[in-house]
Amino acid sequence: MPEGAAFPPGELPDEREQVERSGLFDTMDVFHFDWEIAYDTEGYLRLLDTFSGHIAMQPWQRERLYSEIRRRLGERADGRVRRGWGAVLHVARRRDTQPAP
């Protein structure tokens, strides 16, 4: 998948194979969590202000982009943009590193 592309819900890559190859864990469960947030214009722009690509922009570039986002969201009936989020939780039981007495 190209860099920056969104993964479908429940399909974020996990690190199961890497954790299992380490040999440090016996049991592994992987859980996917997906959710969506509807942002109003200013909330969405505050979110964009946290992304490194937007932080690195020249101020005039960022303002030009943000002006266009404001314009386009202003044309929407609800004035909102929905953004999906996801997380992967790995739960593993560590192997006992000390031999039993």
Burial tier of 95 (Cβ tally within 10 Å: 0-12, 13-18, 19+): exposed
Calpha distance 43→36 (Å, rounded): 14
- Note down pLDDT in tens along the chain; length 101 residues: 555 567 777 788 888 888 888 989 887 899 999 999 999 999 999 999 999 999 999 999 999 999 999 999 999 999 999 999 999 999 998 887 655 55
**Are the C-beta atoms of residues 4 and 53 closer than 8 Å to each other?**
no
Calpha distance 84→54 (Å, rounded): 19
Calpha distance 88→34 (Å, rounded): 9
In this prediction, residue 98 carries a pLDDT of: 57
Question: Does the model's pTM come out above 0.75?
Answer: no
